Structure 1
Amino acid sequence: MTSTPFSPDGSSLLVHADNAEYLPTLPDGAFTMIYVDPPFNTGRSQRRQQTTMVRAADGAGDRIGFQGRSYTTVRGLLASYDDAFDDYWSFLEPRLREAWRLLADDGTLYLHLDYREVHYAKVMLDVIFGRECFLNEIIWAYDYGARATRRWPAKHDNILVYVKNPTSYHFDNAEVDREPYMAPGLVTKEKAERGKLPTDVWWHTIVSPTGKEKTGYPTQKPEGLLRRAVHASSREGDWVLDFFAGSGTLGAVAARTNRKFVCVDANPQAIEVMERRLSHAARTITPESPLAAEITHHTP
């Protein structure tokens, strides 16, 4: 069992804390994979202001963008909404910067959003990571829920995938589950039996309302979705992180695939669900717990 500065005894952790306060206590480069599924900003009343990037002398700006170029940010509010936050992007941006810091050099970020926000997040991550570190936009397509009659029904989420280092990131497609060919008659029998590697469009049902996977948490994601990302972007024994952990799906997948995990959430309901689901595989800490004090002591 591998120890770390944030888990001296090597145990996986469920952390009941505000991620903005907890993430800065973790050491640089600690995680091979980070999955971020923040609250979707689904409010209808919106106000947008312009964000402008001004090219600066190398090393002089406050942002690094494409090919390592330096930028100074002339920034108003990127967006404000009435559903959850006065400024969603002021809420999300510092947490994504922490994600960049916490990724190992061979690490990968999966940012799960919906169609309302993904284009803004893409611009933000291009600035934080650099455009050369963009790996994929995964489309998670499903067929469940309400049917629109005056537009095409929205039946997908978007997952932006960025790597810390575009020349040394870990990706193992041999570990990924395979899919049936849509036209098996066009390939050999051996290929049809083996199946094909997934593309950047992942067809996967939502969590069944009556299935054994269901926890009752309203935004629960299916294990099959996370298992594919975990297998591709981490190895057995690696540490993975979810700091909007919700029902703890990343932790459940990590525990079954011999990864170590840290799942963080400030919602007591989420912690209760995760404890029922993951108490066999992790210990729960709060900022006031003795282990948290030990973690803070060990953290640089």
Structure 2
Amino acid sequence: MAIHPGDNLDVARRLPDGAFTVVYLDPPFNTGRTRTRLAGAPTGGPRAASRAARAVSGDAPETGADLHRGFRGQGYARLRGDLGVYDDTFEDYWSFLEPRLLEAWRVLAADGTLYLHLDYREVHYAKVMLDALFGRDHFLNEIIWAYDYGAKTKRRWPTKHETILVYVKDPDRYWFDADAVDREPYMAPGLVTAEKAARGKLPTDVWWHTIVPTTGREKTGYPTQKPEGILRRMIQASSRPGDAVLDLFAGSGTTGAVAAALGRRAVLVDDNPEAIEVMRRRLPDAVVLPGP
């Protein structure tokens, strides 16, 4: 297992093509952004936004490296411009995330799976953008991780879930082993046979799983730590023992801890010195490579 301190884009660009069966990305959720209106940005709703996007991008066919064909066959440059006008602060977030996703796709193996973990603020934009970048036929699942913990507002339905978008490099040959995944209890065990109830059921695309408990062996104190059970399902299903797993936003090192327990190799990247120190303690057998 290797831990790379430094900017994950720089590290990813040095990794070989097709080296990883699973790539997991848990980027910052962009929750603290300051919402401002760009000078000259249109008002008047979606129609005005669409007209402005067309005026900016022009009606000529797009050419060059910025053109991808995916979502409904639209030019990627046009689609990105449209979304940037609908939400003018999204452009900055996507400018950060997009090149990292493209590198993640490059290093993903032909039978590999990419998992992008986001919350409700960005996931709907990201779904459209990923369809444009990679093609809708590469989309496999939208996983909902639901939990019931923490304060609950009474001004709306409390937000207690996150979303994981799942894309495969090749829709005809990706690896998925449902039998390897830990089973979970039936919600109504009386409706199935005793044998089925004892065995448990395969998870669906809605995963009810607690957050990391405040006490217990998993807790590292890292603020955005994800529970091992969530990563275990992904790695069990989408890789085999001996396969390589990449986490470009490694944080507390949960991906590495799970990969090691399952007999996978892991490459972990983070530019936060606190995260590197947490991973050193949590993964004492990992090799920490020199920083930038």
| TM-score, length basis structure 1 | 0.84
2:12 alignment partner in structure 1: 23
**Taking every aligned residue pair, what percent have the same amino acid on both sides?**
65
Stretches of 4+ aligned residues off by more than 4 angstroms: 47-61
8 A contact 1:100–1:128 mirrored in 2: no
8 A contact 1:66–1:131 mirrored in 2: yes
Report the Cα offset of residue 242 of structure 1: 0.3
Question: 1:48-77 deviations in whole A, cap 9, x for unaligned?
Answer: 87667989599997212158x573513447
Report the Cα offset of residue 43 of structure 1: 2.9
> Residue 173 in 1 paired to residue 162 in 2?
no
Q: Higher helix fraction: Structure 1 or Structure 2?
A: 2
Cα distance, 1:61–1:153 mapped onto 2, change above 3 Å: closer
Q: Distance in 2 between matches of 1:57 and 1:153?
A: 42
Number of matched pairs? 272
Question: 1:71-114 deviations in whole A, cap 9, x for unaligned?
Answer: 35134473555xxx981110001111111111001000110000
8 A contact 2:212–2:219 mirrored in 1: yes
Q: Distance in 2 between matches of 1:174 and 1:62?
A: 39
The structure 2 residue matched to 1:109, chosen from 93, 110, 114, is: 114
2:127 alignment partner in structure 1: 122
2:44 alignment partner in structure 1: none
> Residue 216 in 1 paired to residue 221 in 2?
yes
Q: Structure 2: which 5+ runs fail to align? A: 42-48
The structure 2 residue matched to 1:253, chosen from 242, 255, 258, is: 258
Q: Which SS does the other structure have where 1:143 is aligned? A: coil
1:91 alignment partner in structure 2: 96
Question: 1:90-141 deviations in whole A, cap 9, x for unaligned?
Answer: 0001111111111001000110000111001101110111100111100000
> Residue 225 in 1 paired to residue 230 in 2?
yes
Report the Cα offset of residue 45 of structure 1: 3.7
Question: 1:32-57 deviations in whole A, cap 9, x for unaligned?
Answer: 00110001111364358766798959
Question: 1:167-200 deviations in whole A, cap 9, x for unaligned?
Answer: 1100000000111111111111111111110000
Q: How does 1:1-150 map to 2 (within 5 A)?
A: 12-43=1-32, 45-46=34-35, 62-66=67-71, 69=73, 71-74=75-78, 75-76=80-81, 78=84, 79=87, 81=89, 87-150=92-155
Question: 1:153-175 deviations in whole A, cap 9, x for unaligned?
Answer: 00000000010111110000000
Q: Which SS does the other structure have where 1:136 is aligned? A: strand
1:285 alignment partner in structure 2: 289
Q: Which SS does the other structure have where 2:77 is aligned? A: strand
Q: Which SS does the other structure have where 2:11 is aligned? A: helix
Q: Structure 1: which 5+ runs fail to align? A: 1-11, 289-300
| TM-score, length basis structure 2 | 0.86
Asked which structure has the greater RCO (Cα within 8 Å, sep 6+), the reply is 2
1:8 alignment partner in structure 2: none
After superposition, the CA RMSD in angstroms is 2.4
Which range moves more in the overlay, 37-46 or 52-61? 52-61
Q: Name the aligned partner's letter for residue 232 of structure 1.
A: A
Report the Cα offset of residue 279 of structure 1: 2.0
Q: Higher strand fraction: Structure 1 or Structure 2?
A: 1
